[in-house]
Structure 1
Amino acid sequence: MALVEAAADLMLEGGFEAVRHRAVAQRAGLPLASTTYYFESLDDLIARAVELSGSREMDAMRARIDEITQADRDAAAVVELIIELLVGPIEGAAREHLIARYECFIASARHPQLQEVQRRLRIQFDDALGEVLRRSGRQVRQEGLRRLICVVDGAVVGALSESDPDPEQLAREMLSEVIDVAAPPLPQEEPEP
């Protein structure tokens, strides 16, 4: 729906503050009344926008994962894959998209409508990361997945809040320290004599 797409685009460009009835209707090219006709509240529209934004992100992530071949990878290569998927290059609009993602995480603590959306998206992110680890010859354990994601999330939020120009590098450094503990390589089979 055009209203949800408009709200998602506005949210990525300017955060939650940018998602207002008038701005959404104008971006969608629809009458102002359409935002209140189709949605119970602005929070309802925002929740749908968050879901659409997350689905777009997951589609892009899955497309990239489909390109990853099955191979044993060293820690540095696995870290690069994870950073690429969870953080991505942080230039221009991509930085704003990353900030919007983390704003959604924080907002879900105060907005019950976002909690369920974020929970579903988090499950999808966990599954995607698990697939990356499997294709990389790594052990996949739920607590390891959560640890890896929390390390990346913490590093990125910390860097963004300090106006660090390279949150990607901080996440890479932190992740490098825990990758072999959280997702150790699968044991190599010994060749038969």
Structure 2
Amino acid sequence: MSKRDPEARRTAIITAAADLVVELGPERLTHRRVAERAGVPLGSTTQYFKSIDELRTRALERLAAEIDDDLEAVRESLATSNGSIDALVDDLHDYLRNHRNLAADVSLMSAAAFDADLRELSLRWQNNLIDILTAYVGPTNAHALAILADGVTIHAVQHDAPLPKATLRAIVVPFMGADSKPPTPNEMGPTR
């Protein structure tokens, strides 16, 4: 990367910061770590970002944009399947199996808990999911499903694995307006 391309350098710094947020958490982000990861001089991080808080915010914005891309894939999947429960469960399960998604989502939630300025950024995921699901289940059930998605995200982080698909399906079905046989205890998987 050339000094003559300040936008590429700035992008590399943000990308490195986002990667570190996912790996270490937002509170462990430092200018030194970001500079090392981005392969730039330490002074570059402070040249482009006046504080570590600003850099952390840009990293979280990058991660929120990645989540937006994942939600667009969910939107397309549901449109293709005409709002199929199985498509939603498959998409949710895939999301919960991706460590980067989980770390980004929880980092955004955590940041919002301590910084009101980041709350809107954190809520973007939930609001977009509600928007996507409303067309299939109405606004109340869409909101409930988005809250459930937050809960299963936290559960997946705490247990280092998503709930089994049968359990996710059992949780989702009541809000999708469809009947389903309850899963067996073996299908439910660990709940603690």
Task: Compute the TM-score of the two structures, normalised by the length of structure 2.
Answer: 0.71
Which residue matches 2:22?
12
Q: Is the 8 A contact 2:112 2:118 kept in 1?
A: yes
**Residue identity opposite 2:175 in structure 1:** V
* 3-state DSSP of counterpart to 2:94: coil
Say if 2:17 and 2:29, in contact at 8 Å, map to a contact too.
yes
Deviation at 1:81, TM superposition (A): 2.7
Conservation of the 8 A alpha-carbon contact between 1:44 and 1:113: no
Per the alignment, residue 6 of structure 2 pairs with none
Structure 2 unaligned regions, length at least 5: 1-10, 179-192
What secondary structure sits across from 1:54 in the alignment?
Answer: helix
The alignment-based identity, stated in percent, is 28
Looking at secondary structure, tell me which structure has more helix per residue.
2
User: What secondary structure, in the 3-state scheme, does the structure 2 residue paired with 1:140 have?
Assistant: helix
Shift in Å, 1:140: 2.3
Among 152, 155, 166, the residue aligned to 1:155: 152
**Is the CA contact (8 Å cut-off) linking 1:152 and 1:171 kept in structure 2?**
no
Contact 2:141 / 2:175 at 8 angstroms: preserved in 1? no
TM-score, normalization: structure 1?
0.70
Would you say 1:108 and 2:112 are equivalent positions? yes
Alignment of 1:27-46 (within 5 A): 27-46=37-56
User: RMSD between aligned alpha carbons?
Assistant: 2.8
1:53-64 superposed matches below 5 A: 53-64=63-74
User: SS state of the match for residue 88, structure 1?
Assistant: helix
Equivalent pairs, count: 167
Aligned residue number for residue 13 of structure 2: 3
Report what 1:125 is aligned to: 129
Sort the Cα spacing of 1:72 and 1:53 in 2 relative to 1 into closer, same or farther, 3 A.
closer
The residue aligned with 1:166 is 162
Deviation for aligned residue 1:45: 1.2
TM superposition shift of 1:96 = 4.4
Is 1:82 the counterpart of 2:80? The answer is no
1:128/1:60 CA distance change after superposition, 3 Å: same
Cα pair distance change 1:97/1:64, threshold 3 Å:
closer
Per-residue deviation, 1:52: 0.9
| Deviation of 1:168 (Å) | 5.1
Letter in 2 for 1:167: L
Which of 165, 172, 175 does residue 175 from structure 1 map onto?
172
